[in-house]
Amino acid sequence: MKKRRLNTYVFISMFFRSFLIQAVWNYQSMLSIGFCFALVPVANRLFKDRQKRIEFYNRHLNFFNAHPYFSSFALGAISRVEEDMVLEKKDEYIKVDRLKNALMGPLGAIGDQLVWATLKPASILVCLLAVLLIDIYETKIVFLFVLFVLYNIPHLYIRIFGIVKGYQSGYDVYKILKIERYKTVKNLYGALGGLAIGIIISYSILQSGEADVKFAIVFAISLLTAYFYKKYKQSIYLSLAIPSVLALFIGIIIENL
């Protein structure tokens, strides 16, 4: 068993570089420049020969796309495969391309479902609920830090765990890329988000109704208009503008009755 070449310094450097993985996102190769940028410490460590490094760069500047956080799994796995090739003196780099192509779908799908559709809205909704319920302004600020922590603990965990597990797994990384593995955290955050939005709606309706029943009615009409317009038309701009203008017209009519 040959001594492994990649060390902790390489992985720490890769971790920090992964925060800029979308800096040059483009329609042609999507994440590729950022992905290759994050792999630079690996190339520097594995290849002393300049020509080999040029080949490495050209390999990884090809098309690649994934969820930005979950791309850390690909970074870890590709590092392992590249290192194995060097240690075993093989150059079957076609396998590297195949691995990258195979990872794109799962990394994107899990990331979008888990992060964009669950962790992010749930963290924000919980924090917003606290800001709505609490009157003391200093405590509201504290809850902004809570939002930051609530979201970034899983965020940073995915980035770190992805690099570590990806590297440990190599070609077998696909075995750990299943949404079921994240079911607990997805359900926990989803439940928190669902509860929070429910509380926000009923509490806000009652609060506006306490000020004036007319406000509660406008609140409910706006909610339903936005919900159904978004559901059937998908346009975010009109889903925002139409209920706003509608609420204004209702206000003008009620005040002039």
Partner 1 sequence: MENIYIGLVGSLLVLDTTVAFQFLISQPLIACTLLGWFLGDIQLGVQVGMYLQLLWLSSMPVGAAIVPEGNLAAIVIAALVIRYNDSFENFNTVLICGLLYGIIVSYLGGELVVIFRKANQYFLHKVLALARKGKLNFLNVINYLGLIFHYTLMFVLIALAMYLGDFLFTYVLKIPVEWDKYFKYVVMSLIGIGSGLVLSLFKEKLYQQLIAVGLVIGCILFVLQ
> Which residues 53-72 are close enough to bind partner 1 by CB under 8 A?
53-54, 57-58, 61, 65, 68-69
Applying CB under 8 A, does 185 fall inside the site for partner 1?
A: no
Tell me which residue has tokens 């690996």.
Answer: 42
CB of 171 to partner 1, least distance (A): 25
**Residue among 157, 187, 213, 233 that touches partner 1 (CB under 8 A):** 187
Whichever of 140 and 171 has its CB closer to partner 1, that residue is: 140
- Residue 238 C-beta: closest distance to partner 1, Å: 9
Report how far apart, in Å, the C-alpha atoms of 5 and of each of 53, 79, 89, 95, 255 are.
Answer: 15, 10, 13, 20, 75
Cα 243 from chain centre: 29
Exposed/middle/buried for residue 174 (C-beta within 10 Å: 0-12, 13-18, 19+): middle
State how far the alpha carbon of 235 is from the alpha carbons of 123, 227, 244, in Å. 24, 11, 14
Among 27, 86, 169, 172, binds partner 1 (CB under 8 A): 27
Q: Site residues for partner 1, window 126-165 (CB under 8 A)?
A: 127-128, 131-133, 137, 140-141, 144, 147-148, 151-152, 155
Task: Tell me the closest approach of the beta carbon of residue 45 to partner 1, in angstroms.
Answer: 14
Q: Which is nearer to partner 1, 87 or 247 (by Cβ)? A: 247
Binding partner 1 (rule: CB under 8 A), the pick from 12, 20, 153, 179 is 20
> What's the closest the beta carbon of residue 76 comes to partner 1, in angstroms?
19
Question: Which one of 11, 15, 167, 219 is in contact with partner 1 (CB under 8 A)?
Answer: 219
Residue closer to partner 1 by CB (options 34, 106) is 34
Residues 6+ apart with CB under 8 A from 53: 43, 44, 47
Report, in Å, the least distance between residue 178 CB and partner 1.
Answer: 18
Give yes or no for a contact between 41 and 81, defined as CB atoms under 8 angstroms apart: no
Show contacts with partner 1 in window 91-120 (CB under 8 A): 108, 112, 116-117, 120
Among 85, 164, 188, 220, binds partner 1 (CB under 8 A): 220
Report the distance separating Cα 143 and Cα 125, nearest Å. Answer: 11
H helices of the chain, where?
8-17, 32-46, 50-60, 71-87, 94-111, 120-133, 137-169, 183-211, 213-233, 236-256
